[in-house]
Amino acid sequence: MKRLIIVSITLIMLLISWGILYSKVMQSPLHQSIFKQDISDIQVYGSTGTKKIEDGVLVDNIIKWFNQASDIRINKDFAGTTPESGIIINLKSGKRILILNSGSDFEIQRDDVRPENVSYWAKQQDIKVYLERLVAVQINEIQG
């Protein structure tokens, strides 16, 4: 009987600990800053194809713009339009962040901040303009 009580209490404690940990992970902010040293590469795509960004200034600008994004709104059901253009940020960890030209603002999908892939809407004028340019011009004409 004493052993059953000890096992029951231990199990309850483990479940409570797991619940607290899971709750903390799920409450972490959706939009978290990125840093250049964590990035493997950045690719962009538009109506004419995909291209890896080689221009260091543009990479720095994309990071800066991303970190400045505001008006963060969860996109629980991954609603939106099929993106005509996007920015793919590949992280050294193997995770990635997608910035998609979808909706009136832009959509961010990432798998590096929570256990599952998350989607949210954000606003940042430079990113929005850049995504629209990716649709309008040849991909090899995009410099910054």
| Dihedral of alpha carbons 61, 131, 40, 79, sign | positive
Taking only the tens place, the pLDDT of each residue in 108-143 is: 989 876 667 888 989 999 999 999 888 877 555 555
Bridge partners, residue 104, by sequence: none
pLDDT tens readout for residues 29-76: 678 899 999 999 999 998 778 999 999 999 999 999 999 999 988 887
For residue 119, the Cα-to-chain-centroid distance in whole angstroms is 7
Q: Are 101 and 84 in contact (CB under 8 A)?
A: yes
The pLDDT score that the predictor gives to residue 37 is: 97
Tokens of 128: 């929005």
Report pLDDT for 134: 87
Q: Which residue has the tokens 């940990």?
A: 21
The CB density around residue 76, as the number of other CB atoms within 10 Å, is: 9
